Amino acid sequence: MISPLRVGRMVRKELRQLFRDPKTQRVIFAAPIIQLILFGYAVNTDVRHVPLFVVDHDRTAASRLLLDAFTASGYFREAATSLDPGDLGRALDHGEATVGLWIPAGFASDVDAGRSPAVQIIVDGTNSNTATVAQGYATRIVRDFGLRRARGMTNGAGWAVSGGTAGVDLRARAWFNPSLESQVYNVPAVIGVIVLLMCLLLTSLAVVREREMGTLEQLLVSPLTPGELMLGKTLPVAGIAMVQLVLVAAVALLWFDIPLRGSVVALVASAALFILAGLSVGLLVSTLASTQQEAFLVMFLFVLPAIILSGFLYPVDTMPLFFQDLTYLNPLRHFLEVVRAIFLKGAGFRELWVQYVILASMAVTGLAYATARFRAGLAGR
């Protein structure tokens, strides 16, 4: 029923139309790469070198050692120091420092006499994420300092937790990402977002533009069947999206040094399913919109929630239950789980088959529904 010859011609026409304009060419291939490089650097939640404001009223060797413990950890850097606590408040108000450390007078003698002095740590809670992590680090540094001090030793043991007294010693190990860097987790996700945006933009435009220009009628009087028309519209976009994905994945590997631990086959297979699901959304948008303007508006309304409800910016597990349920309808959510697991954990079909099945069923139902709507729309004209 579907003639490969006619579909092939349609694909050729589409590609020619797209690439005739050198500006479009540049947008299609350069924009994703530029976006990944820009945003790949931005998506960084590592809490390192937090600006620390120091008020040291003790000024002894012991207080300096405590300060050294803060800076040597790599989590804090000394931004400024003063003897006036008022300056500390101002620095936090003006955002010049994020954490304040206040060492009281008599600190050293109190430690040695076992009087357990208190060191104040004042955290700017405006960015709750940074604040939570920084507070945890600071508390740990002070505690470890005290324990080392009590045992009369001053050299510490990296980030690997707890004092190792006669009590319980916690040995923590982070798998898949031993140095706990946020970029290796976020850059693969940016790939998913960029590919989704391009998919939507290209498909919905490809259909709506024909309608706006009136060339859709010309296609309709040609011997093309609606199914062939859909294939002819989607195949080129799918191909381009795949090329884009390979390009940005290469940038992630070569530029950002993100490890790819899983198989390329698993990655490409999931990408193909995801692209088809994304395409079907684009097609649905184009059946809803009669002008390119409207297509944009509908996409605008789809994309922002799709990004928010994908686990890209923050984990799905922390959302309220209702929104967690909504995320299951979002192809981006499933694709992000897959890319992240393939890149970092080296997972494959065995661990991720559920996501593959979901993406595949989304692609199939989406495309079928879009075709049906498209056909109905044509019949109604």
**Interface with another protein in residues 66-85 (CB under 8 A):** 66
- Lay out the site mask for another protein across 113-132 (x = CB under 8 A, - = otherwise): -x-xxxxxxxxxxxxxxxxx
CA–CA separation, 151 and 146 (whole Å)? 9
28 burial class (0-12, 13-18, 19+ CB within 10 angstroms)? buried
Question: How many residues form the binding site for another protein (CB under 8 A)?
Answer: 104
Q: Which is nearer to another protein, 259 or 372 (CB)?
A: 259
Map residue 161 onto helix, strand or coil: coil
Q: Rule CB under 8 A: which of 240-269 touch another protein?
A: none
Cβ contact 333:327 at 8 Å: yes
Nearest Cα to Cα of residue 27 among 19, 37, 38, 15: 19
Instruction: Determine if 95 is a binding residue for another protein (CB under 8 A).
Output: yes
> Which single residue is written with the structure tokens 């009136």?
214
Query: In which element (H, E) is residue 88 found?
Result: helix 85-93
Q: Shortest Cβ distance from residue 5 to another protein (Å)? A: 33
Q: Shortest Cβ distance from residue 46 to another protein (Å)? A: 6
Candidate residues 70, 76, 185, 302; the one interacting with another protein per rule CB under 8 A: 185
Mind giving me the DSSP string for 69-85? HHHHTSSEEEEEE-S-H
Cβ contact 133:86 at 8 Å: no
Q: Rule CB under 8 A: which of 275-314 touch another protein?
A: 292-294, 296-297, 300, 303-305, 307-309, 313-314
Candidate residues 180, 329, 372, 376; the one interacting with another protein per rule CB under 8 A: 180
CA–CA separation, 305 and 325 (whole Å)? 13
Q: Shortest Cβ distance from residue 33 to another protein (Å)? A: 14
Q: Rule CB under 8 A: which of 214-233 touch another protein?
A: none
Q: Rule CB under 8 A: which of 143-162 touch another protein?
A: 143, 145-147, 149-150, 161-162
Q: Which is nearer to another protein, 176 or 369 (CB)?
A: 176
Cβ contact 11:19 at 8 Å: no
CA–CA separation, 145 and 71 (whole Å)? 13
Q: Which is nearer to another protein, 1 or 42 (CB)?
A: 42
Q: Shortest Cβ distance from residue 162 to another protein (Å)? A: 6
Candidate residues 238, 344, 363, 367; the one interacting with another protein per rule CB under 8 A: 344
Q: Rule CB under 8 A: which of 188-217 touch another protein?
A: 193, 201
- Which of 55-71 are b and which e, b meaning 16 or more Cβ less than 10 Å from the residue's Cβ? bbebebebbeebbebbe
Q: Which is nearer to another protein, 225 or 324 (CB)?
A: 324
Q: Which is nearer to another protein, 275 or 352 (CB)?
A: 352
Q: Rule CB under 8 A: which of 38-57 touch another protein?
A: 38-39, 41-49, 51
CA–CA separation, 1 and 194 (whole Å)? 35
Q: How far is CA 99 from CA 95, 144, 145, in A?
A: 10, 18, 18
Pick the piece of the chain touching another protein (CB under 8 A) from 213-221, 251-259, 263-271, 343-351: 343-351
Q: Which is nearer to another protein, 231 or 247 (CB)?
A: 247
- CB-side neighbour CA atoms (13 Å) of 312: 27
Q: Shortest Cβ distance from residue 252 to another protein (Å)? A: 15
